Amino acid sequence: MSAFREWFETMTLGQTKKYMELLAWSLFDSFVVSIPYAVMIMAMYVLLIPVLSPETKLPLNRMGILTGILLAQFIGYLFIRRKSYLDFCTGFAGTTRTSRIQMGEHLRSLSMGFFASRDAGDLSTVLLRDYTEIENFAQQLLPQVATILIRFLLAVVVLSAFDVRMTAAVFLVIPLALPFAFLSLKRMEKESRRLQTSQQEVAAGILEYVGGIQTLKAFHMAGERFETLKASVAGWQHASIRLETGAAAPVSMVGRCLLNCGIGVVMLTGGFLLTKGELSPFYYMAFMLLSLTIYDPVLMLFTFIADFSRTARSGGRIRSLFEEKPLPEAKEGAAPEKYDIVFKDVSFAYGREEVLHRINLTFPERSVTALVGPSGSGKSTITRLIARFWDVTEGEIRMGGIPIRNIPSQTLLGNISVVFQDVYLFHDTIEENIRMGREDATHEEIVAAAKKAACHDFIMALHRGYQTMVGEGGSTLSGGEKQRISIARALLKDAPVVLLDEATSSLDPENEVLIQQAISALVEEKTVIVIAHRLQSISNADKIVVLEEGAVSACGTHEELLREPGIYSQLWQEQQNAGSWQIKA
Ligand SMILES: Nc1ncnc2c1ncn2[C@@H]1O[C@H](COP(=O)(O)OP(=O)(O)OP(=O)(O)O)[C@@H](O)[C@H]1O
C-alpha cells in the first residue's frame, strides 16, 4: 500500500490532495456521462417487453421518462463537463508549473559536481518530456481509467439486477485476463527504461552536435558525428518498437484473447439457461450486447499499459532529481563584515581523485593575491571553492572569519564578483546581460560600467546599441568583446571580493591597456584573487602564491620569488624567452 501511495504521490507531483479533489469532479463527470449507458439498457428492456408479450402496449410514458432523463443528463453534463474539464486542465497545469519552478530552484541549489555528472540533454529531457508525460497521465489517462472503472461498477449493479448468473458469466474472464495485464506491465519496465535511455542519448547527441558544430566542421567530422547521431535516433526508434512489440506483447495478447473468449462464455451460458427456460430471450440479447460494451473498456486498459509504464518512469526520474541533495544551506544567516579569505587545511577532490592537498592560505582584505602555477595545478579550483560551487572535501574556508558554509549562498555570492575565462552571455540584449551584475541598475549606470570596461564604443557601433540581442552563449560576439562585457557586469556589481580567472586571456594588445585600467578600477580596495598565465600581468600583485600539483610550493612578492630558485623564476624566464617566439617559416 505504501508503494502505491508513493507511486501516486510521484505521479501527482506531490499534490495528492489537490489531485484527488480534481479527480472526484472528474469521476462525477464520468458518472453523468455513463447515465445514457444505463438509460440504453432500460430502454431496451422497455421496448422489448411488448415485442415478447404482444398483448402489452408500448409503454410510452416510460419512454417519455427515459427521454426526460436523457435530456436532463445532457444539460447537466454541459455544465459539469465544462467545470471538470476546465478545473482539471487549469488545476493540474498549475501543479506542473509550480513543480517545474520548484525543480528550477532545486537545480540552482545543487553543487556544480552534480552538473558535471549529468549532461544537459538528460536534464532538459526531465524538465520538458517527463513533465509532459506526467501531465498527459494525470489529465487524460488517469481520468479515463477512472471512467472505465465507474462504468464497470455501474454495469455490475445494473446487470446483477437482471440476472446474477449471466452477470457472473460476463465477468468471469476479467479476473483471468487482468493478471496478464500486470505481468505485461512488469515486462515492459525494462523496455521502457531502454526507451528512455535512448531518448536521452538522442537529446544529448543533438545538443552536443549543434554545440560542437564549429569544431566538427573544422576537423571534417560533421558527417562522421552525424552518423553517430543517426545511429542513436535509429536506436530510439528500435526501442519504441520494442516497447510496443517486445517481450510484453505476447503476454498482453493472451490477456486480450481471454477477454475475447468472454463473449463465447456469455453465449454458451445464456444458450444453456435459455434452453432450460430459465432466461428470457430479452435478457439473453441484452447480455450479449452489453458484454461487448464491458469488454471494450477493459481491452482499452491493455493499450494503456505502455503509457503507464513509460509515465511511471518519468515520474520516478522527476522524483529522483528532487531527491538530489543540495549543498547544505546555513539556517541562520551570517553575513561577513570583513572580506579576508582564509583556507585552513583545505583538501578537495572532484570525484575520487584529490586535486588540492591541505592548502593553508590567507587572501588579505583589500589586496591583490595572484595564483600562478602550471596548467592543472589547481588555480581555478581554488577560486571555484571560494564561490562555493563545490564544497571542500576536508578543511575549511572562511570569509571575514566566518566559515563560508555558514554564510547563506545568496549573501556569499552577493559579495563576490567573478570574471572567468569562459564567459557565458545569455540570449538577451547586451544591456540585460550587463544588468546581471546588479538587477536594479539604471541604464546610465550600465553605460558607465560599460565605458569603464572599454566596451561602450563597440556596443554603440552595433546596429541597436545596448538593445542588440546577443546570440546564445554570446555566439555573435568575439571572445574579447564577451570578456569585456563580463568585466562590465563585475564593475556594476561592485562586490568586495573579486575573482579574476584569466580575465585578460582573450584581449588584443590594443584593448589590453584599456582593460587593465578597467580592472584596476574594479579591484580598487577589494580582496582580489587573480589567476593569470602571463606573469607580467601580475608582477605588481601584493602576494603571489605558486601552486604545484594541488599544493602551495612558494609564496611571496614578485621580487622575493625571483630571488629564490623554483618554478616561479623558471616560469618567468621561460615567458621572457617566449616573448620573442614566432612561427618558423
Ligand atoms: N569539473 C572537473 N571534474 C573533474 N576534474 C576536474 C574538473 N575541473 C578540473 N579538474 C581537474 O582538477 C585539476 C585542477 O584543475 P584546475 O582547473 O583547477 O587547474 P588550473 O591550474 O586552473 O589549470 P589551467 O591553468 O589549465 O586552467 C586538474 O587535474 C583538472 O583535470
For residue 172, the CA-to-ligand 1 centroid distance in Å is 67
Taking the mean position of all CA atoms in its chain, how far away is CA 216? 28
Contact predicate 567/561, CB 8 Å: no
**Exposed/middle/buried for 215, CB within 10 Å: 0-12, 13-18, 19+?**
exposed
C-alpha 378 to ligand 1 mean position (Å): 6
Ligand 1 centre to CA of 377 (Å) is: 7
Residues β-bridged to residue 419: 500
d(Cα 145, Cα 572) in Å, to the nearest integer? 74
- For ligand 1, atom 18, the nearest C-alpha belongs to 378
Atom of ligand 1 nearest to the CA of 421: 27
pLDDT 10s digits, 125-134 = 888 888 888 8
- Give me the long-range contacts of 549-552 (CB less than 8 A, separation at least 24): 549/357, 549/377, 549/378, 550/354, 550/355, 550/356, 550/357, 550/359, 550/377, 550/378, 550/381, 551/356, 551/357, 551/358, 551/359, 552/359, 552/360, 552/361
Which residue's CA lies nearest to atom 16 of ligand 1?
A: 378
Quick one: pLDDT at residue 503?
A: 62
Distance 381 CA to ligand 1 centre (A): 6
Q: Which atom of ligand 1 is nearest to the CA of 378?
A: 18
Distance of CA 420 from the midpoint of ligand 1 (Å):
14
* ipTM for the whole complex: 0.97
Output helix, strand, coil percentages for the chain, rounded to the nearest 5.
65, 10, 25
Q: Report which protein residue has its CA nearest ligand 1's atom 7.
A: 350
- Long-range contact set of residues 124-127: C-beta below 8 Å, sequence gap at least 24: 124/203, 124/207, 125/196, 125/199, 125/200, 125/203, 126/317, 126/318, 126/321, 127/100, 127/103
Taking alpha carbons only, the member of 142, 331, 179 closest to residue 258 is 179
Report how far Cα 573 is from the mean position of its chain's Cα atoms. Answer: 50
**Best of 110, 343, 380 to mutate for ligand 1, by most ligand atoms within 8 A of CB?**
380
pLDDT score for 232: 86
Task: Give me ligand 1 centre to Cα 264, in Å.
Answer: 72
CA atoms within 13 A on the CB side of 425: 30
Q: Which of 110, 115, 350, 502 to mutate to test the pocket of ligand 1 (most atoms within 8 A of CB)?
A: 350
Q: Residue with the nearest Cα to atom 30 of ligand 1? A: 376
120 CA distance to ligand 1 centroid (A)? 20
Q: Which of 112, 117, 377, 420 is the pocket-test mutation for ligand 1 (most atoms within 8 Å of CB)?
A: 377
What is the predicted pLDDT for the residue at 585?
47
Name which residue sits closest to atom 10 of ligand 1, judged by CA: 350
Atom from ligand 1 closest to the CA of residue 373:
21
Residue 440 is placed in which grid cell? 536594479
User: How far is residue 240's CA from residue 190's CA, in Å, rounded to a whole number?
Assistant: 12
Residue 350 Cα, ligand 1 centroid: separation in angstroms? Answer: 9
- All residue ranges of the chain with pLDDT < 50 are 585
- The alpha carbon of 355 and the centre of ligand 1 are apart by a number of angstroms equal to 8
Atom of ligand 1 nearest to the CA of 112: 1
Distance (angstroms) between ligand 1 centre and the Cα of 382 equals: 10
CATH of domain 341-415+495-578: 3.40.50.300
pLDDT value of position 346 = 95
348 by Cβ neighbours in 10 Å (0-12 / 13-18 / 19+) ranks as: buried
The predicted structure's pLDDT at residue 397 = 96
Which one of 3.40.50.720, 1.20.1560.10, 3.40.309.10, 3.40.50.150 gives the CATH number of domain 2-322?
1.20.1560.10
Q: Which residue among 119, 352, 381, 421 is best mutated to probe the pocket of ligand 1, counting the most ligand atoms within 8 A of its Cβ?
A: 381
Beta-bridge partner residues of 416: 497
Helix axes 16-33, 60-108, angle to 10 degrees: 160
The protein residue whose alpha carbon is closest to atom 1 in ligand 1 is 116
Residue 227 C-alpha to ligand 1 middle, in angstroms?
32
Distance 380 CA to ligand 1 centre (A): 7
Q: Are 383 and 529 in contact (CB under 8 A)?
A: yes
Give the Å distances, CA to CA, from 504 to 531, 560, 576.
10, 25, 18
CB under 6 Å to ligand 1: residues?
A: 116, 350, 355, 373, 375-381
Give nearest CA residue, ligand 1 atom 6.
350
DSSP string, 271-286: HHHHHTT-S-HHHHHH
Domain boundaries, the chain: 2-322, 341-415+495-578, 424-479
- The predicted structure's pLDDT at residue 511: 61
Ligand 1 atom 20, closest CA: 376
Burial class (CB in 10 A: 0-12, 13-18, 19+), 148: middle
- The whole-angstrom separation of Cα 223 and Cα 226 is 5
User: Which residue lies with its CA nearest to atom 4 of ligand 1?
Assistant: 350
Centre of ligand 1 from the C-alpha of residue 273, in Å: 83
Q: Among the atoms of ligand 1, which is closest to the Cα of residue 550?
A: 14
CA of 212 to the centre of ligand 1 (A): 21
